[in-house]
Amino acid sequence: MMPLLTTKGLSRSFGGLRAVDGVDFALMPGEIRAVIGPNGAGKTTFVSLVSGRIQPSSGMIVFDGADITNLPAYARVRLGVAYTFQITSVFANLSAYDNVALPVQRTLTDGRSKGAVRTGVMAALERTGLAARAHMPAGQLSYGHQRLLEVAMGLALKPRLLILDEPTQGLADSEIDNFIQLVREIAKSATVLLIEHNMPVIMQLADRITVFNAGKILAEGTPKAIRENAEVQQAYLGTTP
Amino acid sequence: MTEASPAKPYALHLGVIALLFALSFVLPDYHHGLLARIMVLAVFAMGYNMLFGYVGLLSLGHAMFFSAGLYGAGLTVYHLGWNVPAAFAAGLACGALLALVIGLLALRTTGVAFMIVTMMFAQVFYLVILYFASWTGGDQGLVVQQAARVLVLGSASLDLTNPTVRYMSALALFSIVLLITLAIVRSRYGRVLVAIRENEERTKMLGYDTFSNKLIAVVVSGTICAASGAAYALLFGYVGSSFASVQYSILPLLWVLLGGAATTLGPLIGTLFMYYVIDITSGFTSAYLLIVGIALILLVLFFPKGILGSIRQRWLGWLP
Amino acid sequence: MHFGPHLLLAALEGLVTSAVLALTALGLSLVFGVMRVVNVAHGEFFMLGAVLAWAISTAISGHPAIGFLAALVLAPLIVGAIALVAERLVLRRLNYNPEATIVATIGMLYIIQQLALTFYGPEARPVEPPFSYRILLPWFGYSGYKLSVIATSALLLVATWLVLTRTKIGLVMRATQYDSETAQAFGIPVDRVYGGVFALGAMLAAIAAVLIVPISQAHYLMGQDPLLLSFIVVIIGGLGSLRGTVVAAVLIGLSDGIISVFFSPTLAKIIATFLVAMVLVFRPHGLFGTASR
Amino acid sequence: MTDKNGFFDLSKSTLSRRTALKGLAAGAGLAVAPGFVRYSQAQSSAPVKIGFQSHRTGIGAAYGRWYEKTTAAAVKAINDAGGINGRPVEVVIEDDGTDPARGAEVVGKFATQHKTDIVFGTLFSHVVIGSAPAAGEAKIPYFVVSEGHHVASTKLNRYVFQPGITDVKSQIQSMAPWIAANAGKKVTQIFPDFAFGYDHRDYLPPALKAQGADVIAQIAIPPTESSFTKYFPQIPAETEVIYHVMVGPAVLTFVKELGEFYGSNRPQLFGFMDSLEATDINSPGLEFLDGSHFWEGSPRYAQPDDSAAQKAYRAAVGIDDNGAAVGDPKDVSTASHMFGCWETLYVVKKAMEDAGYKGPEDRAKLVEATEALTEFAEGPEHPQGPKTFNGKIHQCFGIQNISKVEGGKLKVVHKTKIEDGLYEPEGDYTTQAL
C-alpha cells in the first residue's frame, strides 16, 4: 500500500533555530498516528509544514502521490488535508452553524460532497453533539464545545487527512471519553494525525506513535514499543512528571 | 446570516424600496431632489461597506473608484459624445479595472498599511486628474451639458435632468445595488467574506484562497462605487476633482460607520443622517460644523455600532 | 541657476519640511503605536498650535522673540490640555475601539476647525520670526530662521528619544505599547498612560506648528496636509519605530524637495507619492517595522 | 438678512401646488387683462428673494465674509431707495462650504425650498461650475461674482451670468500693455498649477507678444504646496519681471520666501491682488513687496481722486481708507472682488425692472432682459467704474487698476481702458433654449 503522506528531508529554521530538521516521515491511509514530544520538539511546526501554514526551508512533502511542497495552504485543504488549531480559533462572532457551513460549502464547491449546505452542516453538528446549539454564536459556547466545534469544522471538510493539534487540551474527563469515540469514528473515513500530550488518550487511540525531539524523529512504533523505548523514556517520558 | 427564512429581510428591503418610491410622490421638491442625491451617494457608501463592513478592509482611497466612474462616464460624454448607457458602462469599466489593479497591489498589505496605501493611490489618482487638466478640467471640473444627458430607449427618451426621471433613475440604481448587496451578503460568498474579516488565517485553513476572495470583493466594491460616480456625473451634470480628494474617501467611511458597518441598509441611513444633520444645522447657524462634530461624537458614544448596527445588536438580530 | 546650488537649495527646503514633519509624525506615531488610535484630528492639533502661536505672539508686545518663545511654551501646553480633555471625555469612554475612535476624531476635527473659524477667522495670519537673519550664499539667499527650525527640531527629537528610551516614563509607555493588558497586570496605570500619550502626541504637533508659523502662516484649514503626510511617514517608518519615523520623514521631505528639481511640480508629486506607495506595497511593515504582532 | 426658512414643512408641498395653480390662473388672467394683473402684482409688497450662495466655510471663507458684508450693504441701499419694482429685497444665505457638490445642492435648495427668485453669489470657479447645471435645470438665473472665465467661455448655460466683475481673461489681457511698457520685456510667470493659474498661463503670453514682450519661463506650483523656495531657481537670471499670481493661505509664504531668495536685488514684480486679498499689506515679511505692482479690481486703499460714488460705496460697506473694516484695522477686506456683489445686485435690479419681473414665472424674461443690457455707467450703482456688457456671453468688461506698493499703501498708478480687455466672443448663450 502507498503511504498517504510522506515527507523527505523536511526542514524549517527560524533564525538560527532548526525547528524541524530533515524529517523523513510516512503515514499510511486509515491510520491514527500520534505525534508526541517535549515542548519545543517541533511537533506543531511539523504539522504546520504539512498543512501549508508555513513554508519549509528545504525538503519535500508528498500527499497521495503528488508533490504538494509548493502548494498554498488553501489548495492543500481542497486536496483533503485538514488542520484543527491548537489554540481554539473558531469564528467567535459567527454562529456555530456558520462556522461549520464554511467548510461544508467549500467541499460542495470543490465537488467533494453533494446536497444542500444545511444538510451537511447539521450532519457535522449532530456527529459532534452540537446540533442543539447551532444558532449560538461560537464565542458563547463553552470551551469544550468550542473544541468540538473545531473538530466539527475539520470533519465537515471531508478530509482524507485530519490533523488534530492538541484536541483534548482543556477538556474535562467526561468530554475526553466522548472525544475518543469521535476520533475513532472519524478514523473510519479519514487518516488522523494527532498531536497530543495526554498519554492515556494516545494509548487508547493511536495505531502508531512518532516521537519528536529537537526537530528530529527520535523514534517511531506501536504504543507498546514506544512505551518500552529507553531513549524515549529518557528524552520525553522521563522528563515529564 | 444563518440560513433562516429569507422572507423577512427581503420583505424589509423591498419595503424600503417601496417606501422610497412612494416618497417620490409626497416629498416637497427640495427634499425630493436631495433624496435623489442621497440615494446615489448611498450607493457609494454601499460599495464602501462591501469592503469595509463585510471584509473588514479599511480603505481611505475609495474616492478614486467613485471618481473613476465619475470621469469614466463624464469624459466619454464630454469628449466623445457617447450616449448615456455607453457612458455609464464606461464608468463601470473604469472603476472595475482600476479596482482590479489597485486590489492586486494594495492587498499585499493589511490593516493600517492597507489604509495608507489606498489613500496614497487615491492621492496619485487625484493628482493625475489635476495633471491632465486639459482633458479633465482640473480642479474646476467640467459641466456635462443638459442636452447630452438624455437616455434614449427605443423610441422613448428620458430626460435625466427632469426631477422625477432623476429620482426614479437614482432609485433604480439604489434598488439594484441594494438587492445585489443583500444577495451577496446572504450567499456563500458573503459568508466567506465575513469569515475573512473575522479570522483570515482560519479561513485559509478551511480551503479558501483568501487573496482571490478579497480581490473579488475589492473589484465588486470598486465597481459599485464607480456606478455611483457614473450616475452622479450623468444625473447631476458635474465632473470635478474635488470628488477625488481625500475628503470623499473619508465620507463613505463616515456614512457607513454612522449607519452601521456590515448592515445592508446602514449606508443609506448613515448618508441620510449626515446629509440632514448638515442641512438642518446649517440653517440655524453658520457654525454648523460644530454641531455636526458634536453629533458624531455623541452618536459614536451612544451608538458605537452605528445606528442600524446598534438596533440590530439590541433588538433586531435578524437584520442582514 | 546651476544644478549644484539648485540641488542644495532643494535639499535645504526638503530638510525644513522633514524637520517639521518628523515632529508632527512622531506625535501621531506615539498615539498610533501606544493607543492603537487612528487620530484623524491630529492635523487639527497642529493647526491649533499655529493659531495659538499667532494669538499669543500678537498679545505680547516687544521684541518678536519674546512673543515667539512664549508661544513655543504656552501653545503646546494649551493644546496638550485640550487633547487631554478630549481623551478623557471621549476616547476613554469609547474604550479606544479603533472604528469608533475614527468617527470620534473626525467629530473632533470638525469641532476644532469650526471653533478656529469662528474665533480666529478664515484669514491666513503670519507670526513674526524671533529673528530675521538672511544667510547670503554665493548663489542665493536663505532664511536663517529656517536653519534654526531644522536644529530645534533635531534637538527636540533627540530629547524625545532620550525620554522614551532612558526614563521610567518611556519604559512605561513602551510596555503599554507592547502589551497593554500585561502592563496593566504589572500595575502600570494604562489609563493614565493613554491620557498622557494622547496629550503628548498633540503637543508634539503643536510644537511643530509653532516652529512653522513664522515660515508659513496660521490658517484654519492648514491641518490636512500635515495629517496625511504624517500618516504616510508613520506607516513607511514602521509602527512604533522612532528611528523609522525620523528616517521616513527625512526621506519624504527630501524626496519632495529634490524630485521637484527634475520634474514638473505636479508630476513630481505624482511620482513621489506613487513611489512611496510602492515601497509600502512591497514592504508592508514599513522600513523599520517588524512583521510580527 | 434672514438665514433660514422652515426646514421640513410638508404643508409646503400642497402650498406649492396651490401656488402653481394660482400661477396658472394668473397666467390666464394675464392673457385677458394684462394691465390689471400687472397693477395688482406691482402693489404686492412680497419681497424679492435672492438666494445668496456664500463661502462661509472651506477655503473661500475669507471672501465669503466680505461678500456677505458687501451684499448686505447693497441690499440695504436698494431697499432704502424703494427696493426692486417697489418690492423690498430679502437675502437668504446658504453656505456652500466652498465645495462644488454642496454648491449644487444649495442652488437646488434655493430653487425648491426657499423658492428664491434668483441665485446670487459665489467666487470660487469650481463651485460656480459645479452649481451651474443645477441652476440651468431648475431654470433659475444664477448671477455669479467669480471673475473666472468660465461664464464667458460659454461652457456653462444660459442661466448663468457674470455682470458685476470683469473675467480673468480680460483682466490679464488688459495688463499686458502696461507691463511691457513699464516693467520689462522678459517675463517669468509663477502661477498655481490649477485652473485659475491656467488662465494666466494661457492668456498672458499672446497678450504680451502683441506688445513686443515675451514670457521666458512659466513655473506652475502644485496646489498642495506650502513652501516655494525650491521653485525659485527655475526663474531665469535674465528675467526682468516676475509675474506672480498665487491664491490660498500659502501666499504670504510665497512672498516672504521670494524676498529671502532675492534680497534687495530683485527683478520687477507684478502680481494679482488675488494673492493678498484679506491680507494686510504691512504683515511681517511683506516689506519685500515695497515698490512692486499689483492688479486691483477696485482699489483697496482710498485714492485722492476717488469719485463720490466710490466714497459712498466704501462708507456703505464699512471699510476705512486702508480697506479694512471700520473699527478693526486688522480685518482687511477683499476689495478687489467684493465690489462685484454690489454692482451685480444693481444689475439684477435693473434687469428685473426692465423685465417687469413679478415672480419666478418671469425668470425667462429676466434672462432676456439681462442679455439685453449693454452698458453700465459709473455712478453709485457702479462705483468701480463704467462697464460694458456682452449679452451673448453673459460677461461684463470694466476698467482695471494697476497699483504700486508705496509706504505701506497701494497707490493706483494706472487705469486701463475697457477696450484693452475686449476679446472675440467664444460662443453665444442666446442661441440656447430657455
Closest residue to C216, CB basis, from D224, D226, D231: D226
Q: How many residues does chain C have?
A: 293
Q: How far is C274 from chain B (nearest CA, A)?
A: 6
| Helical segments of D156-225, H only | 168-178, 195-210
For residue B280, the distance in angstroms to the closest alpha carbon of chain D comes to 7
- A57 and A125 share a domain? no
Say yes or no: A207 and A146 in one domain. no
Question: Which CATH number is D11-166+339-398 given?
Answer: 3.40.50.2300
> Tell me, what's the pLDDT at C258?
80
In this prediction, residue A238 carries a pLDDT of 56
Asked whether A and D share 3 or more beta-carbon pairs under 8 angstroms, the answer is: no
- Which residues have a Cβ under 8 Å from the Cβ of C3 and sit 6 or more positions away? none
Beta-bridged to residue D186, according to DSSP, are D214
Which residue of chain C has the CA closest to B288? C114
Q: How many helices (H) and strands (E) does chain B have?
A: 15, 4
Contact B195 A78 (CB under 8 A): no
Q: Which of A111, A129, A158 is the last residue of a domain?
A: A158
Does C292 score more than 60 pLDDT? no
Phi, psi of B175 (to 5 degrees): -65, -45
Contact predicate D175/D270, CB 8 Å = yes
CB C244 within 8 A of CB C287: yes
Q: Tell me, what's the pLDDT at D42?
A: 46
**Pair A33, A44 in one domain:** yes
Based on the domain organization, do A9 and A60 belong to the same domain? yes
For the cut 60, the answer to whether the pLDDT of residue A237 exceeds it is: no
The owner of cell 452605528 is B306
Considering the domain boundaries, does residue A86 fall inside one?
Answer: no
Read off φ and ψ for residue D191, nearest 5 degrees: -150, 155
Last residue of a domain, one of A158, A187, A211: A158
Residue C33 CA to residue C230 CA, distance in Å, equals 13
Question: What ipTM is given for this predicted complex?
Answer: 0.84
Q: Which comes out higher in pLDDT, residue D18 or B172?
A: B172
Select from B188, B195, B204 the Cβ nearest to the Cβ of A74.
B204
CB atoms D279 and C123 under 8 Å: yes
Q: Which mean pLDDT values do the consecutive 10-residue runs of chain D (434 residues) have?
A: 38 38 40 38 75 91 92 96 94 92 92 94 90 94 94 94 96 94 94 86 93 93 80 90 84 83 87 88 84 94 95 95 92 94 97 94 95 96 96 96 94 95 94 90
CA distance A228 to chain B (A): 37
Q: Give a yes or no: residue A85 inside a domain.
A: no
Q: What sign does the CA torsion over C231, C235, C240, C243 have?
A: negative
Q: Cβ A91–B201 below 8 Å, yes or no?
A: no
Cα–Cα distances in angstroms (integers) from residue C182 to residues A146, B35, C188, D426, in the given order = 26, 50, 9, 73
Which amino acid does the sequence have at A230? A
Residues A149 and A182 in one domain: no
Tell me if D134 and B236 make a contact (CB, 8 A cut-off): yes
> How are the residues of chain A apportioned to helix, strand and coil, as percentages rounded to the nearest 5?
40, 25, 35
| 8 Å CB contact of B137 and D7 | no
Domain ranges of chain C: 23-222
> Nearest-CA distance from B290 to chain C in Å?
4
Query: By percentage, how much of chain A surpasses pLDDT 90?
Result: 38
pLDDT at residue B3, rounded to an integer: 47
Q: Within the 57-76 window of chain D, which residues sit less than 8 Å (CB to CB) from chain C? A: 57-62, 64-65
Q: Write b or e for each residue in A206-235: b if 16 or more Cβ atoms lie within 10 A of its Cβ, otherwise e.
A: bebbbbbbebbbbbbeebeebeebeebeeb
* Residues of chain B with C-beta less than 8 angstroms from the C-beta of C267: 131
pLDDT digits (tens, 9 = 90+) for C229-253: 898 888 888 877 788 889 999 988 8
CB spacing of D332 vs C123 below 8 angstroms? yes
Q: Which residues contact D320 (CB under 8 A, 6 or more apart)?
A: D302, D314, D326, D329
Residues 98-127 of B with CB under 8 A from D: 127
Number of domains observed in the structure of chain A: 2
Regarding chains A and B, contact by 3 or more CB pairs under 8 A is answered as: yes
Q: Average the pLDDT over each of B119-123, C58-62, D267-271 and give the range with the smallest value.
A: C58-62
Taking an 8 Å cut-off on Cβ atoms, the answer to whether C1 and D224 are in contact is no
Phi, psi of D112 (to 5 degrees): -110, -25
Pick among C149, C216, C255, C270 to test the D interface (most D CBs inside 10 A): C216
Q: From the list A74, A89, A91, which residue is nearest B207 (CB)?
A: A74
pLDDT greater at residue D231 or residue B213: B213
Determine D/C contact with 3+ CB pairs under 8 A as the test.
yes
Q: Which CATH class, in words, describes the domain spanning D168-296+399-421?
A: alpha beta
In angstroms, rounded to a whole number, what is the distance separating the alpha carbons of residues D227 and C260? 12
Grid cell, residue B260, equals 452601521
* Residue-level pLDDT at D262: 85
The runs of H, that is alpha helices, within D211-244 are none
Query: Is it the case that residue B312 has pLDDT exceeding 80?
Result: yes
Same fold: D11-166+339-398 with D168-296+399-421: yes
Mutate to test the interface with D, among B139, B165, B243 (most CBs of D within 10 A): B139
Domain boundaries, chain D: 11-166+339-398, 168-296+399-421
pLDDT grade for C289, boundaries at 50, 70 and 90: low
Q: Which residues of D289-309 are buried (b: 16+ CB within 10 A; e: fewer)?
A: beebbbbbbbbbbebeebeeb
At residue D27, the pLDDT reads 40
Report CB contact under 8 Å: B112, C94: no
User: Percent of chain C beyond pLDDT 90?
Assistant: 39
Interface mutation vs chain C, best among D67, D191, D230, most C CBs within 10 Å: D230
Choose among C32, C111, C280: nearest Cβ to B294. C111
pLDDT, position B51: 96
What pLDDT score was predicted for residue C290?
Answer: 55
Residue A87 lies in a domain: no
Out of A197-211, B216-230, D188-202, give the one with best mean pLDDT: B216-230
Indicate yes or no: CB of C270 within 8 angstroms of CB of B113: no
Question: Does residue B140 belong to the interface with chain D, where contact is any CB pair within 8 Å?
Answer: yes
Q: For C131-163, what is each residue's pLDDT tens digit?
A: 878 888 887 788 889 999 999 999 999 998 898
DSSP per residue, D271-284: EEGGGGTTS-TTST
Grid-cell match 513687496, residue found: D289
| Averaged pLDDT, B40-60 | 95
CA distance D364 to D141: 8
- Considering only CB atoms, A91 lies closest to which of B202, B209, B210, namely B202
A46 and A101 in one domain?
no
Cα(D415)–Cα(D259) distance, integer angstroms? 28
pLDDT, residue D44, reads: 62
All residues at 6 or more sequence positions from C122 whose CB lies less than 8 Å from its CB, including other chains: C219, C220, D60, D61, D62, D64, D65, D278
Burial class (CB in 10 A: 0-12, 13-18, 19+), C151: exposed
A164 and A69 share one domain:
yes
User: Helices H, strands E: what count in chain A?
Assistant: 9, 10
Give me the domain span that covers residue A145.
Answer: 92-158
pLDDT at residue D24, as a whole number: 40
pLDDT in the model for residue B161? 86
Give the residue numbers in B contacting A (CB under 8 Å), as ranges. Answer: 1-3, 188, 191-192, 194-195, 198-199, 201-210
pLDDT, tens digit, 9 for 90 and up, residues B92-103:
999 999 999 999
Give the residue-averaged pLDDT of B253-280.
92
**Residue in A closest to B2 by C-alpha:** A98
Separation CA B235–CA D185 (nearest Å): 49
Cβ distance A95 to B192 less than 8 Å, yes or no, reads: no
3-state SS, residue A30: coil
One domain, residues A76 and A143: no
Question: From the list B34, B140, B283, which residue is nearest D150 (CB)?
Answer: B140
Looking at residue D134, its pLDDT comes to 93
Considering the domain architecture, whether residues A41 and A129 belong to the same structural domain is answered as: no
CA distance D260 to C9: 12
My answer on whether A144 and A165 are in the same domain is no
Chains with at least 3 CB pairs less than 8 angstroms from chain D: B, C
Kindly determine whether residue A106 and residue B191, on different chains, have CB atoms separated by under 8 Å: no
Choose the weakest-confidence range: B199-208, C24-33, C131-140, D362-371.
Answer: C131-140
CA distance D162 to chain B (A): 17
| Whether residue A122 sits in one domain with residue A51 | no
Residue D260 sits at the chain C interface (C-beta within 8 Å): yes
The residue type found at B253 is L
Cell 459665489, residue located:
D122
Give contacts of D 163-192 with C, CB under 8 A.
none
Are B105 and C281 an interchain contact pair (Cβ–Cβ within 8 Å)? yes
Same domain, A207 and A114: no
- Work out the minimum CA distance from A97 to partner chain B, whole angstroms: 7
CB neighbour list of residue C155: distance below 8 Å, 6 or more residues apart: none
Q: Touching C: which chains, 3+ CB pairs < 8 A?
A: B, D
The domain that holds A51 is classified in CATH as 3.40.50.300
